[in-house]
Amino acid sequence: MDSLIRILKQNSAIPRADLARQIGLSEDDLAAKIVKLETNGTILGYHAVINREKWDTDAVTAVIEVRVTPEREGGFDRIANRIAGFEEVQSVYLMSGGHDLMVVVEGSNLREVASFVADKLSTIEAVQSCATHFRLKTYKENGILHAVEEAPERLAVSP
């Protein structure tokens, strides 16, 4: 099971017939295993990693450090889920250190992100402060390098 998850985490688009052969399962057994992982909530979804210099180049990503006042009942969870519910929000993490939540926001332009922070995020009552940092360039995302290295030359046959 571990190697199945590891492979899908790295490349969820791998043809299922190839994957079955690699881990030594029939295609039916493999499909059943994957369905189980999906239904029990181990696998939550699948993504493509997009090179933003090739597609949707105007899109803006911001990482926002948010300080919030935790609630007597529920701590950070309710407020974090409330923030997570917005379409613009890609990720929300509870952090140790100088701020409480790290929120990754995506918008189609700068104005969209700015308006989200000003109108939605910072107006939530429990939110004490927001520090917004904009992404300038991506070098590596989800384990994938964005600069494609040319494969070094190898001998055609070697002992």
Partner 1 sequence: MSSSRIAEHVRNIPRSGIRDFFEIVQSMKEVISLGIGEPDFVTPWHIREAAIYSLEKGKTGYTSNLGSPRLRRAIAKYVEQYFAVEYNPHDEIIVTVGVSEAIDLALRSLINPGDEVLYHEPCYVSYSPSIQLAGGVPVAVATRAKDEFSLRASDLEKVVTKRTRVLMLNFPTNPTGAVMPLEELKKIAAFAVKHDLVVLTDEIYSELTYDEVPHHSIAALPGMKERTLFLHGFSKAFAMTGWRIGYACGPADIIEAMMKIHQYSMLCASIMSQEAACEALERGQRAIERMKEEYRLRRNFIVSSLNEAGIPCHLPKGAFYVFPDIRGTGLSSKDFSLKLLDAKKVAVVPGTAFGPSGEGYVRCSYATGMNQIKLACQLIADFVKK
| Residue ranges in contact with partner 1 by CB under 8 A | 3, 6-7, 18, 21-24, 152, 154-159
Quote the least distance from Cβ 103 to partner 1, whole Å.
30
SS3 79: helix
Distances in Å between the Cα of 159 and the Cα atoms of 88, 151, 154 are 54, 21, 13
Q: Is the dihedral of CA 99, 101, 104, 108 positive or negative?
A: negative
Beta carbon nearer to partner 1, 24 or 97? 24
Beta carbon nearer to partner 1, 111 or 140? 140
d(CA 94, CA 116): 20
Quote the least distance from Cβ 152 to partner 1, whole Å.
7
Beta carbon nearer to partner 1, 6 or 47? 6
Buried/exposed 88-117: b ≥16 CB within 10 Å, e otherwise: bbeebeeeeeebbbbbebbbeeeeebeebb
Quote the least distance from Cβ 16 to partner 1, whole Å.
13
Beta carbon nearer to partner 1, 18 or 56? 18
SS3 91: strand
CA neighbours closer than 13 Å in the CB half-sphere of residue 144: 13
Beta carbon nearer to partner 1, 96 or 142? 142
Quote the least distance from Cβ 40 to partner 1, whole Å.
24
Quote the least distance from Cβ 138 to partner 1, whole Å.
18
